[in-house]
Amino acid sequence: MILSRDEEEMACGKHGPGLEKCMNILIKFGEAMGAEKMVPISSAHTIPREPPDLLLEMTEGVGQTGTFTTLHALMSAFDPHLWQKMGISESYASKEIPVMTQRLDVYRRLGFYETYTCLPMLVGNLPRRGDFISWIGSCAQLFVNSLLGARTNRDGAVLNLAAAITGKAPYRGLFLDENRHGQVLVELEGVDTRGITYTELGAIGYYVGSRAQQRNVVINGLPRDLNICHLLALMAPLPASGSVSICHVVGSTPEAPTLEQAFGNQKPAEVIRVDKSAIEETRALHALGRQEAVDMCILGCPHCTIQEIRNIASKLTGKKLRRGKRMWIGSPYQTYYLAQTMGYSRIIEDAGGVISSSCMATIPDSPIPDDVRTLATNSFKAAHYISRLTKGRVKVAVMEMSECIDAVSG
Amino acid sequence: MKTKGRIVNEGKAAGLAVVLDVPFSFIGDFDPTTGNITIPNHPLFGKTIAGKILVCPTGKGGTIAPFVAYEAEKKGNAPAAILCREADPILCESALAINIPILDSLGEDFFRYIKTGQAVSIENGEVTVVG
């Protein structure tokens, strides 16, 4: 690899052991992947789940992050302030809290932004089209590539942290124009796209992800007036049932003004046709029987926007969670403060709901309370992970947001 | 037998081979607290890879897999080295996080020959299998 002087200095330890370790990981990785050089990144987004010893090794002697770095949602849904209200066990909390404190010391010393969200673009980490970045979180990666046209690879957590600390990343993969074009085309057949619901969009995403696997997706035939929440619902399941890194929506997303441009004037390798029966079959994968009552409702995977919080508050006005029911809502702290100012958070909390800046897909170890057997969510991604991480203990159904709320409140 | 691979991370290692026929991830396929393989219904389920030479076709998924590899290493449960056909980004990164040797591009002869339990040594990209 061709390295700049500052990259060489970092690699040989001139700037301390943390930068030495980080740069050597980036160089060895870059060489293995055939990268010719490093490039500066304009932002990073890292996962607050590091083993503390590793975080200390990688930041030893480092004064501040090498680029603007925000933090991903609190993992496993565990919130250090709200865990009791959420019904998470004390034994789980007593293991997590000391480790979180150790990490927080490092974050504050190096100036990580304590955003704790899977949608960092909503709270100030807003890269421009064409920017090189290193972001973690399969949805954050997919959204920023697809909706903003900034460029991140599906870096793993260690490479991503090394990039945040050095401010550099190997020039490879999705940083290059030719790797960003569509590979598979999705055509909707007999689907009424005008009145399309969030659940239908999520089902389309979940179905397409399992068939596209790691390939770049282009979706054709969706109306231009779908809002950002619609597009998030559509895209969020793609890296759960598959490992899609980029999804162009023709006429909506920046690298897909036309079908031809989305494919870089190449032919699609495969056409995935989605009809009504594919949507219904996908919905049936995460459904409850008619007689099954819902114990818990999870909203906010990906994190709720302020408009979604308003909708939840409006639906919960004058209502309470029914006895023994639970409701977790994922949304960034910053949105929570706005919801507080506007009076929405009080309505939700008075009804018995909890709003947390944590991961509602509950990755990686799902501390869903023991008394929960059935769960309703509006997210196929949350349904996918919660049903797997609880090893079948919790049965998860996907419904519209209003149906999820009705199922636990009255 | 002796063969050569492409050095993804250099280093010396020796140990008994554990040969997987499916792509491997440190998250989901592996328990860092025991070093055991946890792939459901796999013949190697419950077998340890701690201190072993892990042989697999490639890696897969799981962006926090490198953290799990690190936790395993701290507990003495990580493999001593990895030999594969293709080091995918996450497997490569996992090996780099704990600085164990990893070679890829090993030939089909090697994959036909190598069996779980054979003694393997690795040095300068050269792999020696005894027995």
pLDDT at A89: 96
Q: Which of A32, A53, A156 sits opposite B63 (nearest CB)?
A: A156
pLDDT at B108: 93
3-state percent helix, strand, coil for chain B, nearest multiple of 5:
20, 30, 50
Domains of chain B by range and CATH? Answer: 2-130 (3.50.30.10)
Which residues of chain A lie closer than 8 angstroms to B74, CB-CB? 51, 53
Which residues of chain A lie closer than 8 angstroms to B62, CB-CB? 156
In chain A, domain spans: 5-177, 181-284, 286-408
**For A21, nearest residue in chain B (alpha carbons):** B97
**For A160, nearest residue in chain B (alpha carbons):** B63
Q: Kindly tell me if the per-residue pLDDT of B131 is higher than 80.
A: no
pLDDT at A88: 97
Q: A154 and B93: CB-CB below 8 Å?
A: no
Residue A333 CA, distance from chain mean position:
16
Mutate to test the interface with A, among B10, B82, B85, B93 (most CBs of A within 10 A): B93
- Write the CATH number of the domain with boundaries A181-284: 3.40.1060
pLDDT at B62: 81
pLDDT digits (tens, 9 = 90+) for B88-97: 999 999 999 9
Distance from CA of B47 to the nearest CA of A (A): 21
Mutate to test the interface with A, among B60, B63, B98 (most CBs of A within 10 A): B63
Within 84-103 of A, beta carbons closer than 8 Å to B belong to none
Q: pTM for the whole thing?
A: 0.95
- Write the CATH number of the domain with boundaries A5-177: 3.30.499
Distance from CA of B48 to the nearest CA of A (A): 22
> Do A5-177 and A181-284 fold alike per CATH?
no
Q: B89 and A157: CB-CB below 8 Å?
A: no
Question: Rounded distance, CA A24 to CA B117, Å?
Answer: 33
Give the right CATH number for A286-408 from 3.30.499.10, 3.30.200.20, 1.10.10.10, 3.40.1410.10.
Answer: 3.30.499.10
Mutate to test the interface with A, among B33, B58, B60, B64 (most CBs of A within 10 A): B64
Q: B97 and A29: CB-CB below 8 Å?
A: no
Which residues of chain B lie closer than 8 angstroms to A154, CB-CB? 63, 89
ipTM comes to 0.92
pLDDT at A392: 86
pLDDT digits (tens, 9 = 90+) for B80-126: 999 999 999 999 999 999 999 999 999 999 999 999 999 999 999 99
The amino acid occupying position A48 is P
* Residue A7 structure tokens: 């990259």
Q: Which of B62, B64, B96 sits opposite A28 (nearest CB)?
A: B96
Q: Which of B71, B93, B104 sits opposite A156 (nearest CB)?
A: B93
pLDDT at A306: 97
Q: Does A152 touch chain B (CB under 8 A)?
A: no
pLDDT digits (tens, 9 = 90+) for B27-77: 888 999 999 999 888 999 999 999 999 999 999 878 899 999 999 999 999
Q: Which of A32, A49, A154 sits opposite B64 (nearest CB)?
A: A49
Tokens 């995918």, residue located = B88
Q: Which of B8, B9, B93 sits opposite A159 (nearest CB)?
A: B93
Strands A395-398 and A374-377: parallel
Q: What is the mean pLDDT of each run of 10 residues along chain A (410 residues)?
A: 98 98 97 96 98 97 98 97 97 96 98 98 97 96 97 96 98 98 97 93 97 96 91 95 95 96 97 97 95 97 97 98 98 98 98 98 94 97 93 94 97
